[in-house]
């Protein structure tokens, strides 16, 4: 099976100095992402990414990246993952505030002992949502939880779902460490902010929108946590700009 290292050692390499040493989740079997050693904090260049994901001859051609990601191809390089995740925000169907229908998912999570039927309904629902929202970190995280309960934690389906979470996190955490505006995580929708916090067991107490030097940030004040982290910063400039264009601001 194609298990990766834990989220701490793979996807959160750029956050080691932050707070996640030994946290989040672990896996017994390991694989490495191609190019993982080159992870550095840097903002996405949307103009360049848009050009490259629309070039058929490019290694970053979006339809091919999507196909490989959906197949949980762990040989995708970090740059390919960045092009896939951030390239989604340059496409005509990009909707940073897409509403999802996840009633079955909520019902399963709210029950003390969900049945197999509950998990099957939740799986069908989350798979449908990911067809039109393939980079949603929070939904992928829910998917691996659902699959773990439905097929077992050691199944290939669960491993693939887990690996997809790790790959998306690798792209986001390559942009910063989330500690400040200058090193904020670049995300393409609000759901991904909550996905990252969910994965690390962090709960926000207040969300503030901050604008500075042409950039927009969500600053999440956090409940007391074992890491002593007070706030987490997310750069949401791309989603704000898209929203402003939609409403003519």
**pLDDT per 10-residue tile (average), the chain, 249 residues:** 38 38 34 40 91 98 98 96 97 88 93 95 96 95 95 94 93 91 94 92 94 96 90 95 75
Q: 174 in a domain, yes or no?
A: yes
Nearest to 18 by CA among 220, 223, 173, 195: 173
Structural domain includes residue 105: yes
Q: What is residue 12's predicted lDDT score, i.e. its pLDDT?
A: 40
In a domain, 201, yes or no: no
Counted domains in the chain: 1
Collapsed DSSP state (helix, strand, coil) of residue 210: strand
Q: For residues 7 and 168, give the distance between their C-alpha atoms in angstroms, rounded to a whole number.
A: 11
Give residue 159's pLDDT: 94
pLDDT at 177: 86
Burial profile 208-233: b = 16 or more Cβ within 10 angstroms, e = fewer: eeeeeeebbbbbbebeeeeeebeebb
pLDDT tens string 68-97: 999 999 999 999 999 999 999 999 999 888
59 domain residue, yes or no: yes
Upper half-sphere CA count for residue 200 (Cβ side, 13 Å): 29
The pLDDT, as a whole number, for residue 179 is 87
Q: What's the pLDDT score for residue 140?
A: 96
CA distances from 184 to 161, 181, 240 (A): 26, 5, 15
State the alpha helices, DSSP H only, in the chain: 46-53, 62-70, 78-87, 103-110, 116-132, 137-151, 156-173, 190-199, 237-246
Task: Note whether residue 211 is domain-resident.
Answer: no
Give the tens place of pLDDT for each residue, 144-160: 999 999 999 999 999 99
169 part of a folded domain? yes
210 is a domain residue = no
Domain residue limits at 40: 13-178
Nearest-angstrom CA–CA distance, 107 and 55: 42
Residue 162 resides in a domain: yes
Cβ neighbours of residue 167 closer than 8 Å, sequence gap 6 or more: 11, 33, 69, 72, 74, 76, 81
């Amino acid at each position: 099976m194609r298990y990766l290292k834990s989220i701490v050692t793979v996807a959160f390499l750029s956050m080691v100095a932050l707070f996640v040493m030994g946290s989040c989740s672990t896996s017994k079997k390991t694989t490495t992402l191609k190019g993982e050693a080159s992870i550095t904090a840097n903002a996405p260049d949307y103009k360049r990414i848009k050009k490259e994901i629309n070039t058929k001859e490019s290694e970053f051609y979006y339809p091919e990246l999507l196909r490989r990601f959906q197949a949980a191809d762990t040989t995708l390089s970090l740059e390919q993952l960045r092009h896939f995740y951030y390239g989604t925000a340059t496409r005509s169907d990009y909707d940073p505030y897409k509403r999802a229908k996840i009633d079955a998912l909520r019902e399963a999570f709210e029950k003390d002992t969900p049945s197999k039927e509950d998990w099957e309904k939740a799986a069908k629902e989350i798979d449908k949502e990911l067809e039109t929202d393939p980079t949603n970190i929070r939904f992928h995280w829910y998917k691996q939880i659902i699959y773990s309960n439905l097929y077992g934690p050691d199944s290939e389906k669960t491993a693939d779902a887990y690996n997809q979470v790790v790959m998306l996190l690798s792209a986001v955490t390559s942009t910063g460490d989330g500690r400040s505006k200058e090193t904020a995580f670049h995300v393409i929708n609000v759901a991904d902010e909550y996905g990252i916090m969910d994965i690390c067991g962090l709960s926000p107490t207040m969300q503030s929108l901050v604008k500075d030097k042409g950039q927009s940030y969500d600053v999440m004040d956090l409940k007391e946590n074992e890491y002593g982290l007070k706030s987490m910063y997310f750069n949401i400039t791309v989603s704000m700009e898209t929203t402003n264009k939609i409403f003519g601001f």
